Structure formats: structure tokens, C-alpha cells
A and B are shown apart, each in its own frame.
Chain A
Amino acid sequence: MPDRRSIAIAVLAAVAAAVACAASVQFATPIDRALPFLAVVVVLLNAPVALLPLIVVENVIVDEPTRLLAIGLVMAFAFSGGERTSRPLRADETSAPLVVFLAVLVLRWIPLHNVVIWRELIILAGAVAVAYVMRGPTLAVLLALFSPAWPAKVAVMLFVVAVLAAFQLRRVKSSRLVVALVIAFFPWSGVMARGWSAFIHAPRQGNRHYLGYALKSGTAMSIDVPEHAEAVVVSGANTQRLPCGTILGTINGAPIKAPDWGFMRREQFFASRNCYPRDPAGRIRDYGWSAWIDGAERIPLPYGTKSIRIAVNPHLPKNATLQVEAFE
């Protein structure tokens, strides 16, 4: 057990680190604003040397995705071993429950205002229990990443099964690489959890000519195509319960298959039956475990198309709409 002096030093160190990082916050994203919290995590992981790149990164990298990725990499370094010259908390030692506790906080509790406390406490407790039983953090961190908070009963069941399975999986060695890799992308942990197809088909956006039409089922409309437009970007609304591949309508007779715009949101994802777009045109929205990619799908237009006629499938549910977002 640590003595009083160690605890006092640790508390003072955590406070000093948090204050130093709070003074360094330069940007308004939840990840940047969580820098003091990340500093405390770094100190608890006994990797205070990671504070230096953390502060530098926050101050010198202006481009948001690059900065957040760099913060993620620094945190991955802290979780993967940190300062080896002293005795670090290592992922494969008895400190696994603490590592998992911190990892879950980093992965799922940023931004804090989006956290539904009681749901997340279930996942936190479950993950720590799995780590305690397995004496390693890898499975627990992966479970914490992928387990849904909605519906809560699924999370409870998942962790009960996981704890039971963990007794059988004790011999499986933990991998610090996996934990580091998961932590590296914590600024978009929600995308990792629910939109891992984005790794294969990264969403992209071209120059857009925005339209913003929402067409109800059975309606149709014609739109002139701007010069140089190569595709039209569409998505569904209130269509998350429709099976994957449902035809939402037609463009000049060609079928439109597109997911619901918000099906990857954490509240909707588990209940949704939609698939990740084949040609994704969405954007990454929000941060941390709340991060998601909108379900915009790019439909290519034949070369030289002057106008398109869009007809919405009349068999769609009453409140479902087809959103014609933009030309690209």
C-alpha cells in the first residue's frame, strides 16, 4: 500500500499537471478542454514525461484533426508504458483494473456533458471487473469500447458474460499494443466503435453545391445539375429501422440505397439495421465516444447529365424522407 507521502506527492503532482495543462488549453473542442483531465490520467499512469508533448502539441498544432490525433498518440504512449526509467504501471501487471478504469474514462467520458452517468457506470464497473478477473486490460478495454450504452440491458448482459468468460481467458496475454492503438484514437472513439468500416472506406467530401431537400415517400422532383457536378449526395431520415440495402427511391430510374443520416449516433446505432455507405460522403461529427459519421451516400451521375429526376419509394414508412443534400 502506498504511504501517505506517496499519496500526497501523487495528489500534488496531479494538481500541478492539471493546472499546467489547463493553462495550456488553446482550442475549444471537448478533447482540448479535457487536457487537465488527461494530465491527471498521465500522472496516475506514472508517465509524467508525456505531459511535455501533450502541452507542446496543444500549443503548436493548429489543424484540428492532426492535433487531436497527436494528443491521442501521446496518450497511447502514456498507456503503453510511459516512463520506463522509473517503475511504470504496466498494462500486464496487477494494475490492470486501474489502467482499464482510466482507459474507459478516456474513451467514453469525454465529452463529459454527453455522458449518461448511470449507463456509463455500468460499463465502467463491468470493464474493471473483467480486467480484475483477467489480470490484463486488453479484453476489458475492447469491451468498453464496443459495448453500447443503449440499451443498458445489453451492456449488463455483455459484461456478465464477459466476466464469466474472463475466468476461462486468464491465460491469454494482454497486449499493450491493442490498448495503445485503441487509446490513440480516443478523440474519435465513437467512430472506432460504431464506424470501423470508415477505416476501409474513409468518408470524403468534395466541393459541394448544397441543396437541402427532404422528399416524403411517393413524391418526386426534378433538379438541374450544375456544371461540373459528378455526384449527388443523399441520405435517409427516419429510416434507421429499414434493412440494409432498402431502396429509398430512384434517380433517373437508377435505385438509391442510402442509410439514415444519423444511424451511427450512439443512441441509435444498436437499434439500427442500416449499413455503412458504400461511397461515404459524411463528416465526422462530435468527439470522443459521441463521435459519429453521418450516413451521407454519394451517388455518381453519368457524365454530361443536365438534370435529374428523383422519385421517392412510395412504400417507405410515413415519416421517412429522402434527403437530397448536395451536388459534388
Chain B
Amino acid sequence: MIIAAAIVLLILPFIFFRGSELVRALRNQFALYAFATGVWVFTRTVNAIDFDPYIAIVFLAIAQLTLISIHLATAQPRNLATRFALAAALIYAIIIPTQFRSALDGDEPFYLLVTESIVHDHDLDLANQYRDIAKSDVGRPDLLPQLGDPVGPHGEQYSRHEPFLPLLMVPGYVLFGVQGAIATIALFGVLLVRSLVRWLEDEGISDATIRALMPLIVFGPPVVFYAVRIWPEVPAAFCFVEALRGVRQQRGQRWVPALFALVMLKLRFVLIGVMLVPFILRGRDRSRALVAGCALAILGLPLLVVWLVSGSATNVHTWRELIPVAPMPYVKGLFGLILDGATGIAFQAPLFLLGIFALARWRSMPEGFRVGAIASLLYVVTLLPRSEWHGGWSPPLRYIVVFIPLLALGAAALYEQSRAVRAWLAPIAVWTIGITAHGIAEPWRLFHIANGENTVGEWLSAMFHSDFSRLFPSYIRPNFAAIVAAGVFGVVLVVCRTGALACPDRRGRLSCTSLLCAVLLALFFHFGRLPGDRVEFEDAHVVHNGGELYPYEYQVARFIYRGGWLMKHGDSMSFLAKRGSYVLFYASTQPAVIDLGGHAFHLDTAPTYAMTIVDVPVTGPTTLRCLDGSVNLDRMDRRD
């Protein structure tokens, strides 16, 4: 695999460059290899061994890719769409094997199981697949039907997932098995890249901007992670771009198949199709009825298919989900999608945050962006109040991957319009490189329980035994940082209109954005080491000696539970806490006695969560012991 990666990285300059540019790119590539070899030799000399060689190789490959991308920003290749598509094909091809370090997870095995059933049994009944799951190519002998999966009148076991994606994967699966199925998705990723570049060009984005941003879009999260795993999001993103292009160009040959495939991939994408209908009809006088009929037929087809498979046109969903609810879930969902530390755009794919900021400059944005934004409105509004807005057990940004092309267009347009935005590209690139390397090196970490912590927060908390997670905004488990982040976001959105997001000097030689980030980073590490005002007992900064996580990690829809740590007699935990009085939230089916910092507290029976006042005598590491009974400890909030 290392050799394959090296060959692919060697081929990449030939795709983008010619003549002296090619020589320069190759020279830089060999120079970086020489440099890496020098570093490797020296690591032996100085005995610097505290790193994983696999991660080091991943970082080297990404450094090479970064070098090519930097070089690309200053080069002048033409026909960018095809070149980026070729590059994406090669890169995705070498990333696919890295994902096999962990088993298929989330919805992936179920999609593959349906493909298997189509190929072997020519039906959608998975009952026999579940019976002989050990013989399946899925590689998940523990797989069981998902909660709420449709069951047929004769005991047929269907999947809740639409069968269109499994159908698309059939040729790949027949030819190359699981790898072939994933390669099918990667192929859609390649098509997405080509279509996206074409769309950006159609919407008037300059080549220079495309060259600067596309590497981050193509090789960065979330596209890269969804293009090498079995999810319908990347094919849907491709169909969305094609549908938008078709609508903008008024070309039925483009939007009809694209819209058809989009709504067939997932029922929820019908909401996008519905919003596209007015744009499809716009400007048509004579054939309006025919086009409207065609569009409605396309939108109705997935409902029919789902009804035939599951017996219900809405499958596991209900029409009630479309009815507006109280405003607070919308607020949480909206800011969560944008700012959440674990699943928000700002932390998982910061480049696309520029696409959100582009909304502040609505009038100056390309027509395609505005059409796309309106088309996505119903889908987003329906998604926001759902308890699963963050995507559940999946790689981050699952439900909004389909809009990544749209956000990319907004980001590109804003990048062209604002010099201040361009100054943010370097910190964004550094963060993106880090996330990409992490996801490729440790693909299992792409999945994270929705407990309010993120991978970085957990890692630092575990390292320092101090609550770093509280410094990341969480809308899954709302915290103070979430309020601050929402405020800052609002201010930035307003400021974005003025373009004062950076302070470059007249010659643009020194940008303050990186400095600002550096100062914030230093403050982050400083305050991260101090005790906070809240202790969540299941978090990584708490050192647990006994007890267990509640609910357990793989609990279905775990995010709807109130988490905690179950303790029984003899268990203890220690954590960093400030001196003072706290409100302790707990649940217990029997009376329990705990010891906190040398003081004993009696906890009454509380089948649902209850509160009691406890004291921490001194600031610093504090130990909590369960002296008697058993108790589910949720959290502890400081009162003063």
C-alpha cells in the first residue's frame, strides 16, 4: 500500500503540470522524500520513538499532497474538471484500503447486505442473510436487523434503507466484492468532483480560486471520508450538483436523471426535489404542464418504491415529522450543524463555514448558490429539530454532505470577493490536513458517540485529566462554550458583510489570522488545564476506577438518553474540581452513600434524575467514592 501511495503521488504531478512546472513539482516531491528520510535517520539518533510509523507515513503522504496542492495554486493547468477527477480517482483508490483497518460500521453493512441479497437471491429479503451472517462478505457477524426494520407478511426481513444504492453497487460487488462496492461509491465521488468543478466554472468562479480550494474540497473532509465508505451521501451530492446544473441550464437531459437518482437514493432527498420544482418550471411557458408532471412523477416514484418494499410510503418516517415544532430544537440543530465541536461544520470541515458566511452576502452570490440554498431549505428545516440532527452513528456531517457542493460554491465565491477571507485559508488548511490525516490513519474514530465530547477534547482530557471538552461548543449536550460560539458566530456573520475578518497590512504580507488563532490556542491550553464549573461523570477527563458507562456505547439512539456513570459499592472516580458547593444530578433505584473529598453524602432513591447539594472542600484532584448502594451519576454543577 505504501508503494501504491508513492506511485499515485508520483503520477499526480503528471496530471496537473507540464514542462518546467512538472519538473519543479517532481523536484519538490523528491526533496520532501529526502527530507523525510533525513528525519527518519535522525529519529534513531536522538531516540525519538514516540510515534506510530503508520501515522507518520500517512502524514508524509498528506504532506506530499499538500505540496502538490500548494504548487497547483500557482500553476496554470487547463481543463481542471478532468484533471481533478483523475486525481480524485487515484487518491480515493489508495484511501479505500486504509478504511479496511476497521469493520464496516453504521448503515454501511446494511447497504452491503441488501446488495448481497440482490446479487445472490435476487430479492430484498434479508432474513436468510441474517441467518447466515457469518458467511456474509459484510464482515460483521454481530449484525442484527435495525430497530423498526420492515417485516413482510411471511416473515420477510427488509432493510429500512432504500434499495437504490445497493442496486448501484451490484456491478462493483459482482466484480470485486466489498472493495468493488466501495469503489462504486468512490466513482460517484470522482463524478462529483468533475461536476463540481464544472459547476463552479459555470457560475463564474475563476480558475485560480478553483485551484486554491478544490484540493481542500476533494481530498478533505467530509467528501473524502464519504467517498470511500458505503453511504448514499456522495452519490446524492453528485446528483444534487447535476440537478442544479440541469435546472440552471434548463436541460432536462441533465436534471431528470439527476433528480430521479437523488430522490431514489434516500426518501429525505425528496424534500430537496420538491423545492427544486419551482425553479424547474421557471421560464417555461409551453411545456410547463409536461415538465411539472414529469417532476412530480419523479418525486412520487420513491414513495411508491418504499411503499412496495415496506408497506408504508414513508417507511420508518411519518408525515408528522414535517410539522413544525417548538423553536428551541431548531436553534440547537442549526447552531449544532454549524458550530458543534463533534459534528459541526466549523470543526469537521472548516472550509465550508465560508459557505455559511456566504449567506450573509446573498445578493452578491452566484445564482446557482441562491437556487441551491433555497432548494435545501425544506430539507434543512426538517432536519434541524430532529434529535438526530448530528447524524447519529456515522462519520461527521452525514446529513449535510449532500449540500457540500453548494457550500463549496459559496466558499469559492466569498473567497474571490474578500481578501480577508483569503487570509483565513492557511489556518483552515492546517486544521483540514489534521482532520484528514486523523480520519485516514484511524478510520474507526470517524464514528463517535454523541455524548457532547469530540475526539480532540477526549484525547486532551484523557492526557491532562482536565476537562478540555468543555471548551468545545456542544449542542448535543449544550454547554457554556456553545452560547459563546453562537454569539461569536452571529458577530462574525455581521462582520462578514464588511470583510473585516483579518488585518493584513497594505501589502498583504502579514496576516493576523494565524496570530489570532495562535493566541486562542494558547488560551485554550491554559484554561483547559483549569477545573471547570461542571463535571460530567462519563467524560474522558474523569479517571474511573470501576463502574460502567450508561447507556452502553452501542445503545441504539444513544443520544436520546441522559448519559452518566453507573457506580456501585467500592467504585470510585477522580477528577479536577473547584472548591465550592455543587448540585449533583443522579438517578438511583435504591438509597446510596457517596464520599466526595472526605465528606459522606446520603443519596435518596430517585428512579428519575434527582438533584442534591454536595461540597468539594479544596480545588484540585477530587475523589468520589460509592460507599454503599448503587447510583447513576450524571453531572455536578457548581453553584457559586
Contacts and interface: CB of A to CB of B under 8 A. Distances in A.
Interface of A: 3, 5-6, 9-10, 13, 16-17, 19-21, 23-24, 39, 43, 46, 48-49, 51-56, 59-63, 65-66, 68-69, 73, 76, 83-87, 175-177, 180-181, 184-185, 188, 191, 198-199, 202-203, 284
A108 B109 CA distance: 58
A52 B514 contact: yes
Contacts of A62: 50
A86 B51 contact: no
B326 interface: no
Contact of B521 (A3, A16, A20, A84): A20
Given A63-B48, A185-B42, A188-B46, A86 B525 contact: no
Contact of A48 (B39, B49, B73, B518): B518
Interface in B271-301: none
A84 B514 contact: no
Kindly name the residue among B212, B515, B519 whose own CB sees the greatest number of chain A CB atoms within 10 A: B515
Nearest to B460: A60
Contacts of A76: 35
Given A9-B503, A56-B521, A198-B45, 10 more contacts: A9-B512, A43-B510, A52-B521, A63-B49, A65-B43, A69-B39, A84-B74, A86-B508, A87-B507, A180-B35
A83 B426 contact: yes
A21 B525 CA distance: 11
Interface string B507-544: 11111101101110111011000000000000000000
Interface string B416-443: 0000001101110010000000000000
Contacts of B45: 191, 198-199, 202-203, 284
| Chain A binding surface, main DSSP class | helix
Interface string B19-62: 00000000000010011001101111111111100000000000
A176 B32 CA distance: 11
B43 A16 contact: no
A177 B28 CA distance: 9
A23 B520 CA distance: 11
B557 interface: no
A61 B50 contact: yes
Contact of B49 (A66, A176, A184): A66
A23 B526 contact: yes
Interface string B241-261: 000000000000000000000
Contacts of A87: 507-509
Contacts of A191: 45-46
B510 A48 contact: yes
Interface of B: 31, 34-35, 38-39, 41-51, 70, 73-74, 212, 422-423, 425-427, 430, 460, 463, 503-512, 514-515, 517-519, 521-523, 525-526
Nearest to A51: B518
Contacts of B430: 49, 52-53
Nearest to A21: B522
A86 B423 contact: yes
Contacts of A188: 46
A69 B43 contact: yes
23 contacts: A6-B507, A6-B509, A9-B512, A10-B510, A16-B518, A21-B522, A43-B515, A48-B512, A48-B518, A49-B427, A51-B514, A52-B517, A60-B460, A62-B50, A65-B47, A66-B49, A69-B42, A86-B511, A177-B31, A181-B38, A184-B38, A191-B46, A199-B42
B43 to A, nearest CB: 6
A39 B517 CA distance: 13
Given A55-B522, A61-B50, A13 B427 contact: no
B505 A85 contact: no
B39 A86 contact: no
Contacts of A13: 510, 512, 515
Nearest to B48: A65
B527 to A, nearest CB: 11
A69 B510 CA distance: 27
Contacts of A20: 515, 518-519, 521-522
Given A65-B47, A202-B44, A83 B39 contact: no
A202 B41 CA distance: 9
Contacts of A73: 39
Q: Closest 5 CB pairs between A and B?
A: A63-B50, A51-B518, A48-B514, A65-B48, A20-B522
Contacts of A176: 31
| Chain B binding surface, main DSSP class | helix
B521 A86 contact: no
B46 A69 contact: yes
A203 B46 CA distance: 8
B511 A48 contact: yes
Nearest to A39: B518
Nearest to B74: A84
Contact of A52 (B51, B427, B506): B427
A65 B463 contact: no
A172 to B, nearest CB: 16
A185 B35 CA distance: 11
A5 B506 contact: yes
A17 B508 contact: no
Contacts of B42: 69, 184-185, 199
A49 B426 CA distance: 7
B476 to A, nearest CB: 25
B522 A85 contact: no
B508 A55 contact: no
Contacts of B423: 85-86
B471 to A, nearest CB: 13
A227 to B, nearest CB: 27
A78 to B, nearest CB: 11
A38 B45 CA distance: 24
Contacts of A24: 521-522, 525-526
A23 B511 CA distance: 22
B521 A9 contact: no
Nearest to A24: B522
Given A69-B48, A184-B35, A199-B45, A86 B519 contact: no
Contacts of B523: 23
B37 to A, nearest CB: 10
B519 A16 contact: yes
Contacts of B505: 5-6, 9
Contacts of B526: 23-24
Kindly name the residue among B31, B212, B422, B505 whose own CB sees the greatest number of chain A CB atoms within 10 A: B505
A76 B35 CA distance: 10
B47 A84 contact: no
A68 B48 CA distance: 9
Contacts of B39: 69, 73, 184
Given A9-B503, A86-B423, A177-B34, A199 B41 contact: yes
Nearest to A3: B506
A49 B38 contact: no
A182 to B, nearest CB: 10
Nearest to B519: A20
A6 B49 contact: no
Nearest to B526: A23
A17 B506 contact: no
A68 B49 CA distance: 12
B217 to A, nearest CB: 16
B518 A17 contact: yes
Contact of A55 (B31, B38, B44, B518): B518
Kindly name the residue among B34, B45, B509, B526 whose own CB sees the greatest number of chain A CB atoms within 10 A: B45
B48 A6 contact: no
A128 B508 CA distance: 27
A85 B426 contact: yes
A175 B27 CA distance: 11
Contacts of A61: 50
A124 B207 CA distance: 45
Contacts of A54: 518
Nearest to B512: A13
A49 B511 CA distance: 9
Contacts of B31: 175-177
Nearest to A198: B45
Contacts of A17: 515, 518
